[in-house]
């Protein structure tokens, strides 16, 4: 079978837990390689509420993701924490204050991985995308596009329905309302792509493929000279070794 990933970088990291050292050996892979050694502005997008960040595996994946991007880009790297990217659907959940929860979670995540972010510029969706002076006008144009571009309307609905997984069905039993709010979130993501392109970013790296709707907007409504290339990053944990280490035992 032909390996679909053209780039592979190996990485090792350690994690300390309850008197043990866990050694991780990871692989960082991408299908495209044109971003490597680029001097063009690069943005790494990170979801705040994601399994990618959770637990020991999340630690290994995050450290690999952040380190490899920083080491393989020659130009400026920005880390964009998507704190409010899913605020519309989160407001359907039983949270006391979804906005405060999003902002707090993003700050905690950025602080936790501060040493791996290093010299990269740290940005937040709420203050960088939503506060941009063109945010309102771009969002309005995209909302109007739903009425005039049937293809865009179709991919939005397809993406929203695909997001209604079995897990979310249990969490959000009102499918019609979830789809409505998910489309609002997808519009926000399309706005983000447009604004990042306008700000001069040329590569966006994310641990996952883009939605059809964001790709559609990027492909059909972003000027060629401003095109933002989405790089789907795949991080795998090849091996984990847990070793008892008396040095880390707390004295009783």
Q: What is the pLDDT of residues 10-51, one digit of tens each?
A: 999 999 877 789 999 999 999 999 999 999 999 999 999 898
What is the pTM assigned to this prediction? 0.91
User: Helices 150-162 and 135-148, interaxial angle, to 10°?
Assistant: 100
Does residue 135 form part of some domain? Answer: yes
Q: How confident is the model at residue 109 (pLDDT cuts 50, 70, 90)?
A: very high
Does residue 250 form part of some domain? Answer: no
- The two tokens of residue 225 are 């000279």
Residue bearing tokens 């920005």: 78
| 166-184: pLDDT as tens digits | 999 998 999 999 999 999 9
Distance CA 152, CA 163 (A): 17
Average pLDDT, the chain: 93
Q: Is the four-CA dihedral 80, 86, 88, 91 of positive or negative sign?
A: negative
Contact (CB, 8 A) for 155 and 213: yes
Q: Give yes or no for residue 245 having a pLDDT over 70.
A: no
> For residue 181, what are the domain limits?
32-232
Q: How confident is the model at residue 146 (pLDDT cuts 50, 70, 90)?
A: very high
**The domain that contains 166 carries what CATH number?**
3.40.50.11710
**How remote is the C-alpha of 174 from its chain's centroid?**
26
Distance CA 20, CA 243 (A): 5
Does residue 49 form part of some domain? Answer: yes
Report residue 44: phi and psi, to 5°: -100, 120
Rounded average pLDDT over 79-100? 91
Neighbours of 176 (CB within 10 A): 7
Total tally of structural domains belonging to the chain: 1
Does residue 206 form part of some domain? Answer: yes
């Amino acid at each position: 079978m032909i390996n679909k990933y053209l780039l592979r970088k190996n990485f090792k990291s350690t994690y300390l837990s309850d008197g043990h050292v866990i050694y991780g050996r990871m692989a960082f892979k991408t299908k495209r390689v044109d971003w490597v050694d680029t001097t063009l502005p690069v943005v790494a997008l990170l979801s705040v509420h994601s399994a990618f960040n959770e637990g020991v595996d999340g630690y290994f994946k995050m450290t690999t993701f952040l380190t490899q991007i920083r080491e393989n880009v020659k130009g400026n790297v920005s880390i964009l924490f998507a704190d409010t990217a899913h605020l519309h659907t989160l407001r359907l959940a039983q949270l006391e204050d979804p906005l405060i929860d999003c902002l707090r979670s993003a700050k905690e995540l950025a602080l936790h991985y501060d040493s791996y972010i290093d010299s990269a510029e740290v940005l937040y969706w709420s203050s960088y995308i939503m506060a941009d002076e063109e945010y309102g006008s771009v969002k309005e144009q995209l909302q109007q596009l739903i009425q005039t571009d049937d293809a865009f309307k179709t991919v939005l609905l397809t993406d929203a329905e695909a997001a209604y997984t079995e897990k979310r069905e249990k969490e959000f039993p009102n499918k019609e309302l979830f789809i409505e709010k998910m489309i609002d979130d997808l519009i926000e993501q399309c706005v983000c792509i447009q604004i990042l392109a306008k700000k001069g970013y040329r590569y966006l790296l994310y641990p996952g493929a883009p939605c059809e709707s964001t790709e559609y907007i990027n492909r059909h409504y972003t000027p060629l000279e401003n095109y933002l290339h989405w790089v789907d990053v795949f991080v795998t944990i090849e091996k984990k070794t847990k070793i008892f280490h008396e040095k880390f035992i707390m004295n009783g």
